[in-house]
Amino acid sequence: MLLAIDVGNTNITIGVFQEKELVSTFRMTTKLQRTSDEFGITISDMLEYNQIQISDIQDAIVSSVVPNIMHSLRSGLIKYFNIRPMIVEPGIRTGIRITSENPPQIGADRIVDAVGAYEQYGGPVIVVDYGTATTYDFVDEKGDFFAGVTAPGIRISAQALWQDAAKLPEIEIKKPDHILARETISSMQAGLIYGQIGQTEYIIKHMIQESKLKNVKVVATGGLGKIIAGETECIDYYNPNLTLEGMRLIYEKQNR
């Protein structure tokens, strides 16, 4: 079995693959400082709770946008699983060519998403990831990652509302019944969700127009992506496991 670990700014998402099948997923928060022992024990306990034996894990791949936890995470995998994980970093074979002006600045998460979308849906394709940030990444028909847009994520926008406006409460992020809100909570929900839908449609429209590419597919991922994908016709596919699947595809390209 392959352990795929996606370290995001908010959560660490872990997937377990049996060959090409994703058999289990679970999450832990990124914010906590953990030692190598805490990483090893926590991941081991989660696997056992999901009825997966530690001895069945044969290899691991890690994609991270949080450098300061990598030493402890890597050490935990070595100590508790006897595995030296593959790290998604410059030099690894992905099948995607980065043609933007500064390739090293492209986050591992965006590269992994691009690989997952291009390999599964073909190009040209725009990948929209509704994570801590909302990112829009463009891969052409040849597999060249050539452009991207980065915007504040839905949760960041929500936190800015209730942290910086004294009278606005912390709210659940969900689509309200109506956009014509008549009280504070639903008015905030309307602004967040419909504002994100409008942003999504505008950015995708102009990315396609400026690229002059035809038959562009749009794939959404990320936890809150399901809400947005169901409300706009500009998104063709919603794949909540796109990042993990991209990591599996990159792992397979290394002939390990």
Name residue, tokens 């591992």.
Answer: 108
Task: Single out the residue of 194, 200, 188 nearest to residue 233, CA to CA.
Answer: 200
How many other β-carbons are positioned within 10 Å of the β-carbon of residue 122? Answer: 13
Prediction pTM value? 0.90
What's the distance, CA 241 to chain centroid? 8
- CATH 3.30.420.40 domain range(s) in the chain: 2-87, 97-248
CATH architecture for residues 2-87: 2-Layer Sandwich (3.30)
* Token duo for residue 78: 């070595």
CATH of domain 97-248: 3.30.420.40
Residues involved in catalysis: 109
pLDDT tens per residue across all 256 residues of the chain:
999 999 998 899 999 999 999 999 999 999 888 999 999 999 999 999 999 999 999 999 999 999 999 999 999 999 999 999 999 988 899 999 998 777 777 889 999 999 999 999 999 999 999 988 999 999 999 999 999 999 999 988 988 888 877 777 888 888 998 899 889 999 999 999 999 999 999 999 999 999 999 999 999 999 889 999 999 999 999 999 999 999 999 999 997 5
